[in-house]
Amino acid sequence: MNTKDIIQSATKSISSNAKRTSLTILGIVIGVASVVLMISTGKSFQGYILDQINSFGSNTMDVIPKGFEKFGGNLESLTIEDYERIKRLSSVERVVPVIIVNRSVHYGREDMTPMVFGATSDIFGNYGMKLASGRLLDESDERGAQRSVVAAYQTALDLFGNRDPIGQRIVIGEESFTVVGTLKSAGSLLLSDLDKPVFIPFATARSMTGQRHVSYITLKTVGDSDIAKRDITELLRTRHRIDNSQDDPDLDDFIARSAEQVTSIISSVTLGLTVFLALIAGISLLVGGIGIMNIMLVTVSERTQEIGLRKALGARPRDILIQFLTEALALTCGGALVGLVLGAGTGWILSRIADRILGEFHFILSPFALVAAICMAVGTGLLFGVYPASKAARLDPIEALRYE
Partner 1 sequence: MPSAHTKSPRAASRTPLIEVTKLSKVYVNDAVETPVLFDIDLRVQSGEFMAIMGPSGSGKSTLMHILGFLDRPTHGKYRFLGKDTAGRTDDELAIIRATKVSFVFQAFHLLPRATVLENVMLPLLYHPTIPSAERQHRAQAAINAVGLFERTNFLTSQLSGGQKQRTAIARSLVTEPQVIFADEPTGNLDSVSGIQVMGALEKLHASGHTIILVTHERSTAEFADRIVHILDGRIASDSRSHSRRSSSGLTSLK
Residues forming contacts to partner 1 in the complex (CB under 8 A) are: 1-2, 4-5, 9, 12, 16, 305-306, 308-319, 397-398, 401
How many residues comprise the chain?
Answer: 404
56-80 CB burial, b ≥16 within 10 A, e <16: beebbbbbbbbbbeeeebeeebbbb
CB atoms within 10 A of CB 402: 11
Closest CB 327 distance from partner 1, rounded Å:
15
Residue among 1 and 112 whose Cβ is closer to partner 1: 1
- The answer to whether 170 and 201 have CB atoms below 8 angstroms apart is no
Closest CB 396 distance from partner 1, rounded Å:
9
CA distance linking residue 101 with residue 209, whole number of Å: 7
CA distance linking residue 134 with residue 153, whole number of Å: 13
Contact partners, residue 326, CB within 8 Å, separation at least 6? 6, 7, 9, 10
Backbone angles phi, psi at 382, to 5 degrees: -65, -45
Closest CB 26 distance from partner 1, rounded Å:
23
Closest CB 314 distance from partner 1, rounded Å:
2
Residue among 43 and 303 whose Cβ is closer to partner 1: 303
CA distance linking residue 243 with residue 137, whole number of Å: 39
| One-letter amino acid of 257 | R
Closest CB 12 distance from partner 1, rounded Å:
8
CA distance linking residue 388 with residue 298, whole number of Å: 9
| Sign of the alpha-carbon torsion through 322, 325, 326, 327 | positive
Closest CB 391 distance from partner 1, rounded Å:
16
Closest CB 382 distance from partner 1, rounded Å:
22
Closest CB 293 distance from partner 1, rounded Å:
24
Nearest residue to 387 (alpha-carbon basis) of 268, 301, 276: 301
Residue among 243 and 404 whose Cβ is closer to partner 1: 404
Cα–Cα separations (whole angstroms), residue 66 to 71, 78, 191, 240: 8, 9, 22, 13
The dihedral formed by the CA atoms of 354, 360, 365 and 369, expressed in degrees to the nearest 10: -70
Q: How far is CA 107 from the centre of its chain?
A: 38
